[in-house]
Structure 1
Amino acid sequence: MTQIDGHGGDLALAALRGFGVEELFTLSGAHVFPLYDAAHKNGVRIVDVRHEQSAVFAAEAVAKLQRRPGLAVLTAGPGVTNGVSGLTSASFNGAPVVVIGGRAPQFRWGSGSLQEMDHLPIVRAVTKHAETIFATDEVYSRMQAAALAALTPHRGPVFVDLPLEVVFSQADGVDAAPAPAVPHEEADPDEVARAVRLLAAAQRPVIVAGSDVWAGHATAALREAAEALRVPVFANGMGRGTLPPSHALAFSRARKAAFGGADVIAVVGTPLDFRLGFGDFGGAQVVHVTDAPSQRAGHVTPAAAPSGDLRAILAAFASYTGLVADHEEWIEALRAAEDAGRAREQQALEADTDPIKPSRVYGELRKVLAEDAVTIGDGGDFVSYAGKYLEPSQPGTWLDPGPYGCLGTGMGYAMGARVTYPDRQICVLMGDGAAGFSLMDVESLVRQQLPVVIVVGNNGIWGLEKHPMRNIYGYDVAADLQPGLRYDDVVKALGGAGETVEKPGDLAGAFDRAFASGVPYLVNVLTDPEDAYPRSSNLA
């Protein structure tokens, strides 16, 4: 077995590099200087931010896009607490984020050192694993175990903090085992067989592909299963693009017809939460396929619920040799509903109105986004329109806050996406409310030469709250922002570029200039405050 020497920072980073970590996101703090030293000596990229939440969101983006640990390093006390929203987002999204926190020295604990606090009670509720390491020679093995926990389905964030004397102290001759393989639970074969029989025998089956299909490297297996069984596929989260929009079994506009008419719905790799009507599909039987037993729905009794390695489960679906019902009439009916939905939306995508409708913004963006562009949603109503009108052509190219719904992810996600893909289009879709959470981190993008395009739908209100409150009470409060704010001027002041667009006909030119600029570029689109996203789902 190889042995290594070094301080606590050297050992922690060496353990994580075995899992593919090649960058860390941080906001500078003296408690974690040895981690910076280790990164500097070993060519690990350091990306620093203006608020710790952006560091954790950036690590989450890397974790989701690259399907390996994303690393955030946070200084003690407020550095850690500022990162809690990012940890919670990663928990809801099943992202294998590793957060290393600095910690006041243990030998002086209780004496009132700077930022002396026990972080673990704060982070335990939103992590898979949280611990403090008190011995330098244990840092390598325990950091390795933490990263493995993050990657083991169901994936999620872990937190490790290192007291000052542990991370600065030297250890020699530490055993450095290679990174172990990630374990995958084997699904009950009887439950898998029950699930595939239900799908195959159904007259009107549907598959919903979620983020864990991407995270579990199961996109090809899902496509093969859908094609073998001839089942229409819908998607949410990072499952979007599992089948390209041109595929005969890919649907997005016929969801109401599908969920209302299906007799069996297989939900694969996503929870039965508010995004899917809490699993209440009328008379349809539900098959819930998850990557770990902990993800099985407790509020629904599925007809089948296989749990384990999604690739293996879906491969079993694809290789099914029993009788498969004829689904062609059902597919044709959904295709008719899909085509009708697309025809209805075409007018919205071309709307020539003053003020600009959000739908027109996406009608123009669809023309300029490359097939491998990474699109990032950070907002309420404006981003809901993005989910409706933008169709990823490839899996793993859509990032949004997920079911936690935390605003402020945009700049961190943009950093993680740009670090992952230096040559792709990276486009952040941001409401003007969301812009208030993280726009200062444009300076981090500019300083570290991380160009992205930011499109702000600027309607001067908290649209997700204003319109519903009016409907409930007949008035609204605490739902207005300053109309017409020049968020593009903020970006210019921080070293980027941008412009404000007030007329629909000016959108195309603005987007062309943005993607050609090679700098962080914000297109500030003044949109119609009276336009409310037609939300039909029950959020609670």
Structure 2
Amino acid sequence: MALELKQPSHRELSGGDLLAQCLRQLGVEVAFGVHGGHLDAFLVGCAENDIRLVDTRHEEVAIQAAQGYAKVSHKAGVAFVTANSGYGNSLPGIATAFADRSPVVVVTSSPPLRDAETNCLQGSLDQVVVATPMTKFAHRIVQAEEIPRLVAHAHRVACTGAPGPVLLDIPIDVLFRPVQQDQISWGSITAPLPYPPRPHSHAIAKAIQSWKSAKQPAIIIGTGCKSTEAAQELSKLLETTQTPLFHSQKGFGGLPVDHPLQAGLAANLAKLTGESQPDLIILLGARTGMFLGGRSGAILPNKRCKFIQVDIDGTEIGRQIPVDIGIIADTHQALISFNEEIEKSPFQVPSRWVQTALGPRKEPDPHESQEALIDGRTHPYFAMKELFSSLAPGSIISIDGGEAGSWATDLTEVARPFLSLFSAGYIGMLGNGWGYSLGAAVADPSRQVINIQGDGSAGFHIGELDTFARHGVNVLTVVMNNHIWGMSKHGQDLVYETTATVRPISSLSPRTSFHTVSEGLGVPAAKVHNLDFIRPIVQKLSAVHGPALLELVISDKPIHPGTIAMVSATKDPDWIVVPYYDNVPRPFFKHTKR
């Protein structure tokens, strides 16, 4: 079925017009990017077809903003970057989108086809070749008439199965030249996305049987349970079975923080030892790996525990742990199937186990007994807790930074957010939160977005405050400033103790004034040293129409427990410490004292 084309009033329909109209047909309402002359035909087409253009100060942030938009809107994000230079800047964003399964359509351009291999302007990289290993689909469109077919295909690839980024490279001459309308290949441009897959009925029946037999089952959810529809089915499932629910570090969402079966971060499972560990864990759209304790067995027990894993990507099932029942399905559809099967024969898990599983979340945090001031500066735990308790419920929290992000993750529930996003993702890339916050704010302007940054991560893209100001987004940026790369310096402290006299390149300047930079970029700001001033300043900045920034000066002394756990420092001479991964035994020989 053909798209009803909108003919420009004073010129011929160009490839750029056709591209914009195809994206609009697919439901695209906004695109993030940085201007480049190669793209003008497309950008004019967007402006004339009601696609909002949000221009950032860096192409990496444009891709990250498309990711944030996708995670909040549950639709594909769209980003545009110009040839070679802009495209090169976008690569870290594309890599993160690939690792974190973000459905992003990246539009780029390139020199005219006739200028291939002539050392022309911005023609050095073969952009499709570079993109192929870190996208689900990358293609150069060389005929304007093929745009609808290939755009529809790229959009379906980005959004179906395990979501991910796709790239379309459309040379400048293809975008600017007139389209032969009678030669257009429409493909499925007007067709809706296919329905997501439901699970196999035998797999569901077998999973329920195993669930009923378990004495201590638990559920861990990942990013696949954050849609409103999935949350409704999840709530119904929990109400029927009374199974405790944990969520991965990838972000809070799906259930209110005060839900009686909300057990908090999956890391709380590490506090359940011996006979108190689960004997069955159901992974719902939660990928194994770094966010679930890797191979350590701390979060996902190595012994006595069975696993049911539901994932839309079959290659994720059993990737790291032995899985007893693997189910390839959309998480929402799997929840529907679980509920339908359980309605035939309802059951509830033992209440004694529920209380055990919920126990770690109810335990007082050990930091509560520590001093709020250390050498005259606020302890980061108390600063973050006061910040989050000062926010109105229902915000979207984007968490960036190393130890700043760790403190924020631990205390997220204090803010009673609607949703939280861990922007560093599987790649662990700092600075992503600027784009995530922008995309989230554009996707849902009704909510305040909190952009948590450390003073290290803040430095990557602080120029985006200009973007926030120009577009008037409701983002409160919070920079936790302790004048160091916290995880780096503290990691060095743990590994080298007193044996090294220096801590190489782990310090930052105490002279850096983030609130001054913010005000210079047109964003109201404040700097706070005193714990007592955090609440009134947060409330004042939250009342600002548009973006604001709060710089919180905190102590550099406390080491976050997560850093200690990741570094795994040991004095055992027969083991080699490999920070942030599993330690390895000393090869070939045992250490002996002389």
Question: What TM-score do you get using the length of structure 1 for normalisation?
Answer: 0.94
Q: Does 1:272 align with 2:293?
A: no
Q: Secondary structure, in 3 states, of the residue corresponding to 1:120?
A: helix
Matched with 2:389 is 367
Matched with 1:251 is 263
Matched with 1:510 is 537
- What is the Cα deviation at residue 345 of structure 1? 5.2
- Which letter does structure 2 place at the counterpart of 1:512? Q
Mapped contact 1:154–1:295 kept (Cα < 8 A): no
- What is the Cα deviation at residue 258 of structure 1? 4.5
- What is the Cα deviation at residue 165 of structure 1? 0.9
Give the counterpart of 2:59 among 52, 62, 68: 52
Matched with 1:403 is 426
- What is the Cα deviation at residue 315 of structure 1? 1.9
Give the counterpart of 2:441 among 418, 429, 435: 418
Mapped contact 2:250–2:291 kept (Cα < 8 A): no
Matched with 2:516 is 489
1:326-367 C-alpha deviation (Å, 9 max, x unpaired): 42001112333322245x45556x935531111112222232
Matched with 2:23 is 16
Distance 2:387 2:24 in 1: 37
Count of matched residue pairs:
538
With 114-123 and 427-436 compared, the bigger mean Cα shift is at: 114-123
Matched with 1:31 is 38
Distance 1:214 1:527 in 2: 33
Matched with 2:91 is 84
Mapped contact 2:396–2:418 kept (Cα < 8 A): no
Give the counterpart of 1:41 among 32, 39, 48: 48
Which consecutive residues of structure 1, in runs of 5 or more, have no partner in the other structure? none
- Which letter does structure 2 place at the counterpart of 1:316? S
Distance 1:450 1:373 in 2: 13
Distance verdict in 2 for CA 1:397–1:274, change over 3 Å? closer
- What is the Cα deviation at residue 457 of structure 1? 0.6
Distance 2:541 2:392 in 1: 14
Distance 2:438 2:504 in 1: 34
Mapped contact 2:225–2:253 kept (Cα < 8 A): no
Q: Does 1:197 align with 2:218?
A: no
Percentage identity across paired residues of the two chains: 26
Q: Does 1:294 align with 2:301?
A: no
Query: Comparing both chains, which one has the higher relative contact order based on Cα–Cα distances under 8 Å and sequence gaps of 6 or more?
Result: 1
Matched with 1:233 is 245
- What is the Cα deviation at residue 394 of structure 1? 5.9
Q: Does 1:434 align with 2:457?
A: yes
1:204-225 C-alpha deviation (Å, 9 max, x unpaired): 1110010022269522222222
- What is the Cα deviation at residue 393 of structure 1? 4.4
Q: Does 1:219 align with 2:227?
A: no
Distance 1:239 1:435 in 2: 20
Matched with 1:130 is 138
Give the counterpart of 2:329 among 279, 284, 308: 308
- Which letter does structure 2 place at the counterpart of 1:302? V
Q: Does 1:108 align with 2:120?
A: no
Which consecutive residues of structure 2, in runs of 5 or more, have no partner in the other structure? 8-12, 568-579, 582-594
Matched with 1:528 is 555
Distance 1:218 1:431 in 2: 33
Distance verdict in 2 for CA 1:205–1:259, change over 3 Å? farther
Distance 1:25 1:388 in 2: 31
Q: Does 1:148 align with 2:156?
A: yes
- What is the Cα deviation at residue 397 of structure 1? 4.4
Alignment of 1:302-341 (within 5 A): 302-319=323-340, 320=342, 321-322=344-345, 324=347, 326-341=349-364
- What is the Cα deviation at residue 325 of structure 1? 5.8
Alignment of 1:163-178 (within 5 A): 163-171=171-179, 172-173=181-182, 174=184, 176=186, 177-178=189-190
Question: What TM-score do you get using the length of structure 2 for normalisation?
Answer: 0.86
- What is the Cα deviation at residue 199 of structure 1? 2.1
Q: Secondary structure, in 3 states, of the residue corresponding to 2:294?
A: helix
> Highest Rg: 1 or 2?
2
Q: Secondary structure, in 3 states, of the residue corresponding to 2:325?
A: coil
Q: Secondary structure, in 3 states, of the residue corresponding to 1:231?
A: coil
1:421-477 C-alpha deviation (Å, 9 max, x unpaired): 223211100000001100011111112222421111101111111111122123421
Distance 2:349 2:430 in 1: 44
Mapped contact 2:33–2:54 kept (Cα < 8 A): yes
With 50-59 and 368-377 compared, the bigger mean Cα shift is at: 368-377
Matched with 1:469 is 492
Alignment of 1:349-368 (within 5 A): 351=372, 354-368=376-390
Q: Does 1:159 align with 2:139?
A: no
With 18-27 and 76-85 compared, the bigger mean Cα shift is at: 18-27
- What is the Cα deviation at residue 304 of structure 1? 0.9
Q: Secondary structure, in 3 states, of the residue corresponding to 1:242?
A: coil
Distance verdict in 2 for CA 1:340–1:127, change over 3 Å? same
Distance verdict in 2 for CA 1:323–1:441, change over 3 Å? closer
Q: Secondary structure, in 3 states, of the residue corresponding to 1:252?
A: strand
With 202-211 and 270-279 compared, the bigger mean Cα shift is at: 270-279
Q: Does 1:454 align with 2:466?
A: no
- Which letter does structure 2 place at the counterpart of 1:112? N
Distance 1:414 1:459 in 2: 22
1:146-205 C-alpha deviation (Å, 9 max, x unpaired): 011100021111011101111111212436541432342332222222222222221111
Mapped contact 2:71–2:440 kept (Cα < 8 A): no
